[in-house]
Amino acid sequence: MAVSGVLLVLFLIVHMAGNLHVFEGREEMNAYAHGLRTFGEPLLPHESLLWVLRIGLIAAAAVHIWSAVVLTRRALAARPVRYASKKPAKGESRHAVATMRWGAAVVFLFIIWHLLDLTFRTVNPVKDVPDAYGAVVATFSPERWPVTVFYLLALFALYFHLRHGIWSAVQTISGPDTKWRKRTQAIGLAVALIVVLGFAIVPISVTFGLVS
C-alpha cells in the first residue's frame, strides 16, 4: 500500500507539473506531449519512456488496489458486529476515516473517464492524438461543464486521499518519531494542496476562458 502509493504520488507530481504547459500555449503544450513520446530517440525506441511509465503505473495501481481490498476485507472481518452508536472520528487522521475508501472509488471512476477522455479520446471531441492542447480545451469547454465539475469532484476526493496517504505511507515505511510524524503530516497536507490546486487550475482556466 505504502510503496505503491509513493510511486503513484510521484507520478501525480510529474503529471501535474507537465499539465501546466497548457498555459504556454498550443505549440509548447503539444511539443511537450511530443517530447514525452520521442524521449530518448533515436537511441531508444518510440514511446519507450511512456511505456516504462505506463507499465510502472499499471503495476503500482494494481498493487495499491489489491492492498486496499485485502485491508478492507480484513477490517470487515475484524468487526463482525457493528456499534449501535457512532461518534465522529477524533484521531490524528480523522478526515481519513470517512473519505479514504469512498474517495478511492471516486478517483478510480475518474481515472477510467480520464483515460477515455484524454488518452484514448473515446469521449473527447478532438480525436487527433498529437493535439493534446486541443483535447484539453475541448473537454473543459463551458458547454461541457459537467466534465469540469466531475474533474473537480475527483480532485476533492484526491485531496483527502493524498493528505492522509502521504503521511500514512511514511509512517508505514520509516516509522518516524512524534516530531517527524507531525512534520510528515504537514508535508502531506502541503503536497496534497499543491498537487490538487495545480491540477484544478487547468480545467478552471479553460472553463472560464482564460485558456482557449
Partner 1 sequence: MKLSLRIWRQPDAQAEGKMVSYEIDEVSEDASFLEMLDVLNERLIGEGEDPVAFDHDCREGICGACSLVIDGQPHGPQAATTTCQLHMRKFKDGDKIDIEPWRAGAFPVIKDLVVDRSAFDRIIQAGGYISAPTGTAPDAHAVPIPKQDADAAFSAAACIGCGACVAACPNGSGMLFMGAKVAHLGLMPQGQPERHTRVLGMVAAHDDAGFGGCTNTGECAAACPKEIGLDVIGKLNRDFRKAAIRAA
- Candidates 37-45, 93-101, 109-117, 127-135 — which segment interacts with partner 1 by CB under 8 A? 93-101
Interatomic CA distance for residues 162 and 165, integer angstroms = 5
Single-letter code of the amino acid located at 60: A
Q: How far is CA 118 from CA 76, 112, 132, 142, 182, in A?
A: 36, 10, 8, 17, 38
- Candidates 21-29, 112-120, 144-152, 170-178 — which segment interacts with partner 1 by CB under 8 A? 170-178
Under the binding rule (CB under 8 A), the answer on residue 189 touching partner 1 is no
Of 4, 30, 171, 207, which one interacts with partner 1 (CB under 8 A)? 171
Under the binding rule (CB under 8 A), the answer on residue 105 touching partner 1 is no
- Candidates 33-41, 146-154, 167-175, 189-197 — which segment interacts with partner 1 by CB under 8 A? 167-175
- In angstroms, what is the minimal distance from the CB of 16 to partner 1? 24
Of 10, 14, 97, 129, which one interacts with partner 1 (CB under 8 A)? 97
**Contacting positions for partner 1 (CB under 8 A):** 70-71, 74-75, 77-87, 89-94, 96-97, 100, 164, 167-168, 171-178, 181
